Amino acid sequence: MDQFDQSLEMFINGAGWLAPVLFVLLHVLRPLFFLPVIVVCIAGGVLFGLVEGAILSLIGLSLMSLISYKLVNRFPKFRRNVTRLKEKVFPNRILTVGQVMVLRVMPFVHFHLLSLYLMEMTKSFKDYMYYSVLGLISPAILYTAFGEAITELPWYVTITLVIFLVGLYKYLDRRNNKLNINLG
């Protein structure tokens, strides 16, 4: 990880004005290199600082959402694979937009899986991109600003954070179920 960060920093410093473009491109190519979102966002915070790193991460993640939408709608095999993953991870579950946004903050939840949920919840490409970008603001800022700190936190603080996020997810789930019962 440290070697990757150092190599990336040397490459970005040598790139000059092209560095932000290359960083956004790294976000887009991230799945091909099996890099988690959090790693790239942390690198953005180290290389560009909080504000520019978060903005560039948001742009890169938004482009990845756009590409995800295009892949799912153009390639039936890709859609089947993501749908199969959805059935394994969340069998027979309907998530709300709020729950998807909470799950976006959790670094271990599959990016394209959450994109598929958003695609199924929204009526148009415009709505999908609106909610997708809205849901990417928090992870872009959190990972960029606190990513390095989160990875260096003691294990009990990390577990507490995960428990909090799971609790928030469950709360939104119960609230959604109550709304469905009252509307039904």
pLDDT single digits (tens) 58-80: 999 999 999 989 988 899 998 89
pLDDT single digits (tens) 150-161: 556 787 887 887
pLDDT band of residue 128 (cuts 50, 70, 90) is very high
* Interval 118-124 mean pLDDT: 89
CB-side exposure of 14: number of CA atoms within 13 Å? 6
Task: Report how far apart, in Å, the C-alpha atoms of 99 and of each of 28, 74, 142 are.
Answer: 24, 26, 17
For residue 28, the model assigns a pLDDT of: 92
pLDDT at 56 over 90: yes
The pair of three-digit structure tokens given for residue 179, joined into one six-digit string = 């709304």
Residue with tokens 């915070």: 45
**Eight-class DSSP state of 17:** G
Question: How far apart (Å, rounded) are the C-alpha atoms in residues 57 and 27?
Answer: 7
Question: How far apart (Å, rounded) are the C-alpha atoms in residues 116 and 121?
Answer: 9
Question: How far apart (Å, rounded) are the C-alpha atoms in residues 171 and 57?
Answer: 29
For residue 33, the model assigns a pLDDT of: 84
Query: Which one has a higher pLDDT value, 17 or 134?
Result: 134
Q: Are 118 and 100 in contact (CB under 8 A)?
A: yes
